[in-house]
Each structure stands twice: as structure tokens, then as C-alpha cells.
Chain A
Amino acid sequence: MSQQLFEAMTQSVIEGEVEEAERLAQLVLAEGIDPLEAINRGFIVGLDQVGEQFGCGNLFLPDMVQAAEAMKTAVAILEPEIARRGVTRQILGKIVIGTVEGDIHDIGKTLVATMLAASGFEVHDLGVNVPIAKLIQKAVEVEADIIAVSALLTTTMVKQKALIGELEARDLHSRLKVMIGGAPVTPAWAESIGADGYSEDAISAVALAKRLVGA
């Protein structure tokens, strides 16, 4: 029975069926199945397979995003039970992410957030038009490893620099890495403002984040 259920979980993620993933996660709770096992033998297997196919070029980004959404939905349902049992799910690190203040461009940042979450990071997405103080406050609150900031305009890019300046001033940069992205952002800009990393797209962002946390 359980093996069949795990396979259904895997399949729900591969097909990006959020409602099906949700139904299966509820079933795990109802039947008293170990939620960590459900994630590790069920849902995550699907995500790995999608990741692999995506890597080969057989799947497209929306396949990946929808798989990640199904995964996220299931995990959110199972997490309280995991906590109740006093065990913890292994994560690669914690990331606070947002688009800088004055900039309301969402999609690139959201794509990066989704890919990071799908890759095993705990991601706190603060949305768009996020003040520097709010990014830092959240990062301190959740004890984040990384702050990731996006900017689409050459005129809002400067906020990425201001964030790093503020982290330096508050002596937080040593324990909080900063990764930046957005269409006008370049490696030269990243270097000039003292960012810990830059990536051109969501796929490279995952590799970068893993490198920054030493995973």
C-alpha cells in the first residue's frame, strides 16, 4: 500500500498536480504515515526526476516550477506533523529574498525563489518593493544564511549596494551572504559593490546559493 502511495506522490510532483499532492499529503496525516518518509521516498523523488529531465533539456521551466509548487504544497501540509514528532527536515540553508525598494518587477525573483525552494533551501520571499531594513530584519529573525536581492532597473540597482553597505555598518555581512540578480546586473557590478555572488538566471542561482552555504 505504502509503496503505491509513495509512487503516487512522486507522480503528483512530476505532473505538477498541486491538488493531487495536497490530497496525498492529507492522506499521510490521516493514515499516520511517517511524514519525513513520505517526503523522502515520495515527493522528493519526483522533484529529483524533474530536475534531472530539466537538466537534460527534456523539460521546460514551467514543468520545473509546477513540480516545485506541488512539492511545496505537500511539504507545507506535512511540516507541522514533522515538528510535532520532534524531528527536523534537512535543509541546505535559509534564504531571504526580495526585489529592492522602488522596483516592482516580480517574475525573475519569484523564479529564483521557486528554484531555490525546490532545491532544498528554506526560502522567505518578501515580494517586491522591499525596503532594506525589512530584508535585514527578516534575515536576522530567521537566522538566514543568505539575502538574495533582485533589481530590474539601472536606477534601482543601487539599492543592492546600499543593502551591503547597511550590512557592513551593522557588522552583519560576515555571517550573512548577499547574492544579487536582475537584467542590468553584471559580475562587474557584483564585484564593485562587494556582493558575495551574482547569477544570470535561476538555474545558476541555485548553484551559487549551494556554493555560498558550502553545500
Chain B
Amino acid sequence: MDLGLQIDRETQRVRFPPVMVEAALKQAPAHFTLCARNPKLDLPLDGRHGYLSLDGSAPNVLDLDSGEARPSGKADLAAAVRLADAMPQIAFLWPTLSAGDCPAHVQPLHELEVLLTQSSKHVQAMTAVDPLNARGTLEMAAAVVGGREALRRRPIISNFQCSVSPLAYDEGALEAALIFAEAGIPTGFVVMTIGCGTAPATLAGNAAQANAEVLAGLTLLQLFYPGTPTFYGFCPTMLELRRGGVTCGGPEDFWLQAAGCQMARFYGIPASIGTFATGAKSSDWQAGVDNGISGAVSQFCGADMMSGAGLLNGARLFSFEQLLLDCEIYDILRTLNTEVVMDAESLALDVIDAVGPQGHFLAAKHTRRHMRAVWQPALMDRTPWDEWVKLGRPGALDRAKEQVRQLLATHQPDPLQAERLQEIVAAYERM
């Protein structure tokens, strides 16, 4: 099949003619809905929401009891997903930490079993990056909704594949993307370029290369399965110049988030933007600064999906407490990003006139009508000083820990029978 691509097999380069890329971008829908097991939790990607997901996929968990980092297992993921199910700020799910105690070749399916049973929110199966796990993922999701056609009508899962920067995609990953697209599953492409390492040192060069890598994936997808819902995933960062890690935070990362949002808007495709995921090792000042700014940039630049909450140490460590702290940041930003009504009732000129000079608004009916709309913190401390001292000087992290314990002890997700899913996982495990 000659698709009109310029292919150099010797250097393994594929060049997409500009007209082909532009045609592909026109095929991709501007709006679609990420469906959920519970239809009330469906997420219309209409350009007016900035949905927060769990982040992924950390190999380590900050143990709730010991406070120490340790390798994560399936049970840890179950707890994390159940907690995310309880948090209204989390709109959809990534396997936020690895089920490292499961057989590696089907680990993504064990993770999916947890995601589907511990929450009824939309699942972005981002660890299904090879054909075997792509097929298993489809089979499991179909089993939940009652078959392949039902899944095509209401895809309760989505998927994306990552480029291998610079300028490459893994063969298995692309095959997985095509398997998902064939089944009508929203399939995006996410790039994670590292300036100075896997991309140019300059912001412009980094963004240009990252953009080309996303477009390569999108174009290929639309060539094979025109009209497949897809999204523009942007998660670039910079090399940490002294030790060779990634910065995960800092002005360059924030600028690149904004660039991704704007390019996705320009192309008319939903934007999935790498957000939060501080490089800080603990839920401290650095984490607050990183995630506060990062969240604000994504939210105000119009990211449709923000991924995501809960990780420390450059996305390598999951913390239950950090998940709640990130949710609070997000809650502030969503509230801030809500349109402020300007009408007679909200301007309240008559109320101001009636209260008059040196009066107060505590007794005004207008106050009681509107005060419930004033944002209330779940974690931020606003207690008076003396009381705070008496309570043992608690911080947001202490309150987060308390709420995590309480939610994990009480929250029950919409039940789903796990047996059929476990059978499918077991069958794939034998392959």
C-alpha cells in the first residue's frame, strides 16, 4: 500500500508531506467524549474543561504507615485508585503506580483490572504499549460494557502512545495504537522531549521537535483509521544539567506546557498536557511552587486534560497525601477559572447602598444568598494562631494524611464483578 510517504529504509526515516499532515489534522475530531463506566462521569472534551487525571506510572509508593518509599504492587494501586474515585477533582484515571508484583508481560492488564474495579471513572490505559496488552485491554473493557460494539459506542477507555525522542516511535507502540484505533478507542500521542538531551536546548527547538513527533503519530493514525478521536499530548521537560535527570518543574517546563496547549488549539485537537509531577522529593515548598505554577499554566492556557495528580520525585514516587494536595491546588485553579457573573444581583449596588457607610454585610440577606459559593479549603490552614499552636501546629500534609486514612477506610466505588476480568487476565498471562 503506497500511502504517499517518503520512506528511507536505510536511515529508517519517514517524512510526511505537509498536505498529508494537514489532511490528517482535518480528519481528527475537534470534540468528543471520554465515556465512563458510570455515565454521570462522562467527560465531554469540548474545550471548556480542564480535566485532571491521576499521573502515571510510578514504580514506587510512599508507604502511608512508614513514610518510606518502597516498590509498589497491585494492592497499592488499588488503594490509590479507590482514593482517586473518592476525589471529585480527579476526572479520569491513569495507572498511577506500577503493579510491580504481577507478571511483567501482562502487568498492564493487572493494572487495568484494578482501574476498572476500584473506580467507575474513565480509564486512560497508558501502560498498554504493545499489541498483546492492547488486545487484552480491549477484551477487558468490552467485557465491562457488554461487547465490542458497545465499547465502540461508549469507549470507557482511551489510550495513548509515547514517541521515543528524538523522532522515533517504537514498533510495538504504534501497532498497539492501531489496534485501539481499529476498535474505535480514542488514541492520542504524547511526547516527552528532554531539552539538551533528546531535544534541542532551546525552547523553540524543543517545542518544534515535540510538535513534529505528535503530528507524526496523529497523521499515521488518521491515515489508517480516519476520524479516530485522538489528542495532542505534550509533556516536554529539560535535562537536569549537572546529574542528567529531568527538571520536572521550572520555567522552561511551564513555557512548554503553554506551547502545547496553544498548538493543540491551533490544530483544533484536544490537548493533554503534562502538569504537576514536581521534581520535589517530598510534599514541600518546592512541590507547592512547581505544581501551583504548572497547574495554573495548563488551566489558563486551555488544556483539556491535565496529567496529573499524586506523584513526587519527577513522576517516580506516588504519595497518597500528594494526591490530595494536588487536588486542592486544582480546586483553587478551577474555581479561579470560573467565569465571574456581572449582573445586577452580583454587582449588588442596591445592597451596598442599603448597608451604607460604616455598616456591615454580615446581616445582609444578599450575603447569605451568595456566601456558600465562596471557596472553602479542604487542606489549607486558616485556623487562628493560638488554636493552631494548641493543635500541635498541623500543616496541610498532616490534614491530607488524616483525610487519606478516612477516605480509604470508608469510600466504596460503584461495584463491578472482578471474576470475568480476572479470567481474561489469566488467559493473557498464559500467552
Residues of A within 8 A of B105 (CB): 155
Contact A107 B98 (CB under 8 A): no
Contact A158 B98 (CB under 8 A): no
- The answer to whether residues A107 and B107 also contact, given A60-B241, A154-B57, A188-B70 and a CB cut-off of 8 A, is no
Contact B104 A186 (CB under 8 A): no
Q: Which of B112-120, B192-200, B304-312, B401-409 contacts A (4 or more CB under 8 A)?
A: B192-200
Give the nearest-CB partner of A157 in chain B. B104
User: Among A57, A108, A158, which residue has its beta carbon within 8 angstroms of that of B242?
Assistant: A57
In the docked arrangement, what's the CA distance between A184 and B164, Å? 17
User: Among A62, A155, A188, A203, which residue has its beta carbon within 8 angstroms of that of B71?
Assistant: A188
Contact A107 B71 (CB under 8 A): no
Contact B59 A107 (CB under 8 A): no
Asked whether B22 is an interface residue with its Cβ less than 8 Å from the other chain, the reply is no
Interface residues of B in 148-181 (CB under 8 A from A): 164, 168, 170
Give the nearest-CB partner of A188 in chain B. B71
The secondary structure that dominates the B interface is: loop
Residues of B within 8 A of A183 (CB): 59, 316
- The answer to whether residues A155 and B242 also contact, given A107-B197, A107-B198, A186-B71 and a CB cut-off of 8 A, is no
B316 CB to closest chain A CB (Å) equals: 6
Interface residues of A in 152-202 (CB under 8 A from B): 154-158, 183-184, 186, 188-189, 201-202
Interface residues on A, range: 20 to 34
Residues of A within 8 A of B244 (CB): 61, 108, 111, 201-203
Contact A186 B60 (CB under 8 A): yes
Residues of A within 8 A of B127 (CB): 155
Residues of B within 8 A of A186 (CB): 59-60, 69, 71
| A74-118 interface code vs B (CB 8 A; 1 in, 0 out) | 000000000000000000000000000000111110010000000
Contact A62 B100 (CB under 8 A): no
Contact A104 B196 (CB under 8 A): no
Residues of B within 8 A of A189 (CB): 71
Asked whether B245 is an interface residue with its Cβ less than 8 Å from the other chain, the reply is yes
Contact A203 B107 (CB under 8 A): no
Asked whether B243 is an interface residue with its Cβ less than 8 Å from the other chain, the reply is yes
In the docked arrangement, what's the CA distance between A61 and B239, Å? 9
| B60-78 interface code vs A (CB 8 A; 1 in, 0 out) | 1000000001110000000
- The answer to whether residues A203 and B241 also contact, given A104-B164, A155-B105 and a CB cut-off of 8 A, is no
Contact A203 B164 (CB under 8 A): no
Tally chain B residues at the interface, Cβ within 8 Å: 28
Contact B316 A158 (CB under 8 A): no
Contact A61 B170 (CB under 8 A): no
In the docked arrangement, what's the CA distance between A201 and B316, Å? 14
- Most chain B beta-carbon neighbours within 10 Å: one of A111, A184, A203: A184
In the docked arrangement, what's the CA distance between A202 and B201, Å? 20
Q: How many A-B residue pairs have CB under 8 A?
A: 55
In the docked arrangement, what's the CA distance between A41 and B371, Å? 78
Residues of A within 8 A of B196 (CB): 61-62
- The answer to whether residues A154 and B243 also contact, given A107-B198, A183-B316, A184-B59 and a CB cut-off of 8 A, is no
B375 CB to closest chain A CB (Å) equals: 37
Give the nearest-CB partner of B106 in chain A. A155
B59 CB to closest chain A CB (Å) equals: 4
- The answer to whether residues A60 and B242 also contact, given A107-B197, A154-B104, A184-B98 and a CB cut-off of 8 A, is yes
Contact B107 A155 (CB under 8 A): yes
In the docked arrangement, what's the CA distance between A57 and B240, Å? 12
In the docked arrangement, what's the CA distance between A4 and B243, Å? 34
B370 CB to closest chain A CB (Å) equals: 49
Give the nearest-CB partner of B97 in chain A. A154
In the docked arrangement, what's the CA distance between A158 and B100, Å? 10
Give the nearest-CB partner of A202 in chain B. B244
Residues of A within 8 A of B245 (CB): 201
Residues of A within 8 A of B241 (CB): 60-62
In the docked arrangement, what's the CA distance between A183 and B60, Å? 11
Residues of A within 8 A of B108 (CB): 155
A185 CB to closest chain B CB (Å) equals: 8
Contact A154 B164 (CB under 8 A): no
In the docked arrangement, what's the CA distance between A80 and B69, Å? 50
A108 CB to closest chain B CB (Å) equals: 7
| A36-66 interface code vs B (CB 8 A; 1 in, 0 out) | 0000000000000000000001001110000
Contact A203 B104 (CB under 8 A): no
Contact A105 B316 (CB under 8 A): no
Give the nearest-CB partner of B69 in chain A. A186
Can you list 19 A-B pairs, Cβ within 8 angstroms, ordered by A?
A60-B241, A61-B241, A61-B242, A62-B201, A62-B241, A104-B168, A105-B164, A107-B194, A108-B244, A154-B59, A154-B100, A155-B104, A155-B107, A156-B104, A186-B59, A189-B71, A201-B244, A203-B243, A203-B244
Q: A155-B104, A188-B70 are in contact. List 12 more A-B contacts (CB 8 A).
A: A61-B243, A107-B194, A107-B198, A154-B57, A154-B107, A155-B108, A155-B127, A186-B69, A186-B71, A188-B71, A201-B245, A203-B244
The 10 closest A-B pairs by CB, nearest first: A184-B59, A60-B241, A154-B98, A158-B104, A201-B243, A155-B104, A154-B59, A202-B244, A201-B244, A111-B244
